[in-house]
Amino acid sequence: MANSNLYKGSLVTIILKLLNEGDKMYGYEITQKVKDMTNGELQITEGALYPALHKLEAEGVLEVEVKKVDNRLRKYYMLTKKGNKETVSKLQELEDYIKTMQNLLNSELSMR
């Protein structure tokens, strides 16, 4: 499932959900959290994550804080007020989608 288009279409929602649960996170931390939470089923690549983070930042959904950690600069991402609203919207959108898919699957099963 690691390369599933379903997961790719949910990447923004995954990012927003994780940032909504915590204070702030850096990119690698996000990838590892998803990997841990899904027992390795979903693995977000840097090539997918960072463009999504940069897009969300440009849209005003995320803000960035740069900190020096072990002589390296690390970017921490956090939700803005707009980001908090977007998170609620995206999570509701995903819930509605899941319910619709469950209805479709359940009706198909009952037709057999």
pLDDT tens, position by position, 1-28? 445 777 778 999 999 999 999 889 999 9
Q: For the chain, how long is the longest CA-to-CA vector? A: 62
Nearest alpha carbon to residue 12 among 98, 79, 81, 102 = 79
Considering the entire predicted model, what is its pTM? 0.85
Q: Pinpoint the alpha helices (H) of 1-112.
A: 5-8, 11-21, 27-37, 46-58, 81-110
CA 77/CA 53 separation, integer angstroms: 8
Q: What pLDDT is attached to residue 22?
A: 83
Name residue 25's beta-bridge partners: 77
Please write the tens of the pLDDT for every residue from 67-104. Answer: 999 999 999 999 999 999 999 999 999 999 999 999 98
